[in-house]
Structure 1
Amino acid sequence: MKHENVIGILDVFTPDITLEKFNDFYLVMPFMGTDLSKIMKHEKLTEDRIQFLVYQMLKGLKYIHSSGIIHRDLKPGNLAVNEDCELKILDFGLARHTDSEMTGYVVTRWYRAPEVILNWMHYTQTDLDQLTEIMKITGTPTQDFVQKLQSQDAKNYIKSLPKVQKKDFASILKYANPLAVNLLEKMLVLDAEKRITAAEALMHPYFEPIHDPEEEIEAEKYDDTFDNMDLPLDEWKRITYKEILNFNPPQTSESKETAV
C-alpha cells in the first residue's frame, strides 16, 4: 500500500544475520500520535475537521478497494491522526482479498457491516440485536436483497422480521449539514451493491470545497501470488528472510511524522 491515507512501511529489518538464526523482524511505520477514537472522546469535532477526516478516509478506501482488498474492521481506533489532522488507515490484520467468506466473528461489534453479519453463519443474540438496530434506520430489506444472501439462516431471520420503513435521515440528524446527511443516507444502504462506493462518495457535493481528483488515486492490483500457497514452514521462513533483505525503503524527506 502506497498512499498518504493508508499506513505504509518505512523500513523492515532483522537483527538476525543468517537464515538459520532468523527468528524476529521489525516493521517501521510512520509515527502518527493518536487515533480518531481518542480524539472523539476528548473533543467535539468541528464541521471542517469532520469533512477533512472523512474525505481522507474515503481517499484511502478508494485506493484500498481499487486493489481488490477490503479492510473489514474499519473503526475510529484504526484511523490514525497526527497533529495536522492528517489521517491514515491502520491495522490490516483483518484485511483480505475480497470474497464471500467474510467472517463476522473478529470484527468490532458496533462497526460491523451488515453484510458481514449476514454472511456469517454462527449468529449470537448480540448480532441479531445489531441487525435489528441497523434496520430500524435502513428499513427491512427487499425481497431482491434477501435472495442474494448465501446463508439460509440469514434469509429465514430477515423473513421473520416485521416490516419496517426506512427512516428519514434528516429527521434523525436535525442539526447536521444537509449535504452530510445526504451522503450518509447513500452510505448507509443495507444492500452493498446499491451502496455508494468510496470513489463515488468522493465526488459528492459535501466534499466540493476540498475535492482534489489528482489526490484520489487508485492502486496497482494486489499481488496475491503467495496467498493460497501451501508451503512448509522452512520455505515461508526463507521467502520472508529474502523479502526483508531485498526491501528498499521509500525515498521520502524526513518529516515530523517519521523523525521519531
Structure 2
Amino acid sequence: MLGFLLLLLNKRRKCVGKPVGACPCADPTCQVETVRGQSAHSGLKSSSAMQSPVSDSPVRPGFHRVEVQKTTWVVPDRYTTLWAIGSGAYGTVCSAIDQKTKEKVAIKKLYRPFQSLIHAKRAYRELRLLRHIQHDNVICLLNVFTPDSTLEKFQTFYMVMPFVAQDLGHIIKRKRLSDRIITYLFYQLLRGLKYIHSAGIIHRDLKPGNLAVSENCELKILDFGLARQTESEMTGYVVTRWYRAPEIIFNWMHYSQTVDVWSAACILAEMITGSVVFPGHDSIDQLKKILHLTGTPDTSLVQKMQSKDAQSFVKGLPPQKKRNFKEVFPAMSEKAVSLLEGMLLLDPEKRLTAKQGLAHPFLAEYHDPDSEPDSEPYDDSFESLELDVGEWKSLIHMEIMTFDPDNPGQTAV
C-alpha cells in the first residue's frame, strides 16, 4: 500500500513570492499596522518569548537545540533567533531568521502529531496541501524537517512558512479600515479561494484569524488543518461558529466550496462594520441570527436537508422575511450590499462562487481574469485510505525526506 502511494505524490514547487500588488492606499496613516508579538501565522494565540540555549543530549548534525517558553525546539542551524509568536490546539509557532536567505520565517511545531489516528492523518493532510499550493494569496511551504535521524526515532516534525506580521482579526479590532483597503483585501481573499477551490479543496475554517496581512496589505489564507476536497464526506461542525454557513448548521454531509464563500461574506461585513455579523452564543442561536437576516428557508431548500431533525426544527420556526440588506448595513455601498446578498444566500447551490465574486462590480478596480490563476489538479486519494498511525507516520517521514527546499520539484520517486 505504501509503495503504491509513493506514485501518487505531487511534484514539489517553490512558493512564489510575487505580491499581488502594492497597498492601494498611498496615505501612510492608512497602512495596516504591525504589532510586535502578534502574528497572523496559523491563526494561533499570540505570545512573545525569546529562545534560550539548552544543553542536553547530542543532537543530529546540522541541528541545534533551544528552549522556547519551556518547550524544546531542535531546528537546523540555518534557523536562528527563535521567538514564540503563537500557540493553539495542534501546535506552536515561532518566528526565526533564516540565515541562508536572511529572511524572517515562521516555523510551526506540531504537538504530538502521532498521538492518535486523527492527529496523524490531519498532519499528513496539512503537509500534502501545503506542498501542493503555489499562490500569492495562500500560505505555502518553504521547508519541512525533523530532528529525528531515522523512521524508528521519528516523533516530531516542523514546517517552515513565510512570516507575516499579523492576522486580520487583530487589525479589525485595532482600527477601522478604509473602503479601498477593504476592497483590496477582499479581492485577495476571493483570489486565493478561487485557486484552492479550483483544486477541489474546501478550507472549512475561514475566519479573520486565519488571514495573514502584511504591512503592504498583502493577504494570505492560512491554516489548512481542516481542509478537504469536495468529494470527501464531511462532519458538520468544523468552522468557527460565527462564520459557519447555514448548511453546516443544518448538518448536511456533502457540502461544497460555497461554505467558504459564506465565511468570506461574514468577513467582508465585519471589515466594513467593525462588528461580527452573526455572533451566535450557540449553534441554535447562530442559526436564528442568520435567519433573522436572510429569512426562513423556502420549502424546496428544507427538502434538501438530509437531517430530519434539521427539517423539523426549521419547519417549527416562525416564518420570517428577508430583511433589506441596505437598511441592515447602511454604511455599505450599493455594490458591497449587492455582493453580500449574493454570497449570503441560504441555498448553497444559488450562492455566488469565488470566481463569480471576483467578477462582481464591487471588485472591478482589481479584477483581472489573467492574474487569477487556477490550481493544478490536487490528488487527495489518501483521504479514503484506512491506514494505522504507523503507516501515516511512514508517509509523513517519506514526504519530509523527499523535500528539498533548494530543489522542491525534485523527488525520490
CA–CA separation in structure 1 for the residues paired with 2:345 and 2:388: 44
Tell me, yes or no, if the aligned pair for 2:204 and 2:238 is still in contact at 8 Å: no
1:7-156 matched pairs, under 5 angstroms: 7-99=139-231, 101-119=233-251, 126-156=282-312
2:201, 2:227 within 8 Å by CA — same for their partners in 1? yes
Q: Secondary structure at the match of 1:94?
A: coil
SS at match of 2:144: strand
Q: Give aligned pairs, total.
A: 250
Larger relative contact order (Cα-Cα within 8 Å, sequence gap ≥ 6): 1
Cα offsets for 1:206-228 (capped at 9, x unmatched): 11111121221111222113212
Taking the aligned partners of 1:248 and 1:47, their CA distance within structure 2 comes to: 42
Letter in 2 for 1:243: E
Per the alignment, residue 400 of structure 2 pairs with 244
Residue type of the alignment partner of 2:185: L
Higher mean Cα deviation, 10-19 or 81-90? 10-19
Greater mean alpha carbon deviation, residues 198-207 or residues 89-98? 89-98
Alignment pair present for 1:234 and 2:390:
yes
Match of 1:223 in 2: 379
Deviation by residue 1:68-113 (Cα, 9 ceiling, x = unmatched) = 1111111101111111111111111221222574334343111111
Could you tell me which residue of structure 2 aligns to residue 257 of structure 1?
Answer: none
Which structure shows the bigger proportion of residues in helix conformation?
Answer: 1
1:64: how far off?
A: 1.2
- Range that drifts further, 236-245 or 143-152: 236-245
TM-score by length of 2: 0.58
Q: Which residue does 2:331 correspond to in 1?
A: 175
Question: Could you say which residue in structure 1 is the equivalent of 2:15?
Answer: none
Q: Which runs of 4+ in 1 moved over 6 A?
A: none
Indicate the SS of the match to 1:192. coil
- Cα 1:34–1:183, aligned 2, differ >3 Å: closer, same or farther? same
**1:258 corresponding residue in structure 2:** none
| CA distance in structure 1 between the aligned counterparts of 2:252 and 2:362, rounded to whole angstroms | 34
Within 1, Cα distance between the matches of 2:405 and 2:370? 24
Which letter does structure 2 place at the counterpart of 1:152?
K
In structure 2, C-alpha distance between the alignment counterparts of 1:95 and 1:66, rounded to whole Å = 14
Contact 1:140 1:163 (8 Å CA) reproduced: yes
Tell me the CA shift for residue 251 of structure 1.
Answer: 7.1
Amino acid at match of 1:50: I
- The structure whose residues are more often strand, as a share, is 2
Structure 2 counterpart of 1:161: 317
List gaps (5 residues or longer) in structure 2: 1-132, 254-279, 409-413
Cα distance, 1:133 vs structure 2: 0.8
TM-score for both structures, normalised by structure 1: 0.90
Code of the aligned partner of 1:234: G
Change (3 A) 1:37 1:134: same
Aligned to 1:256: none
Over the matched positions of the two proteins, sequence identity in percent amounts to: 56
1:24-64 per-residue CA deviation (whole Å, 9 max, x = no partner) reads 21100110010000000000000011001110110111111
Residues 102-141 of structure 1, C-alpha deviations (whole Å, 9 max, x = no match)? 33434311111111100169xx982111111101111111
Q: Secondary structure at the match of 2:382?
A: coil
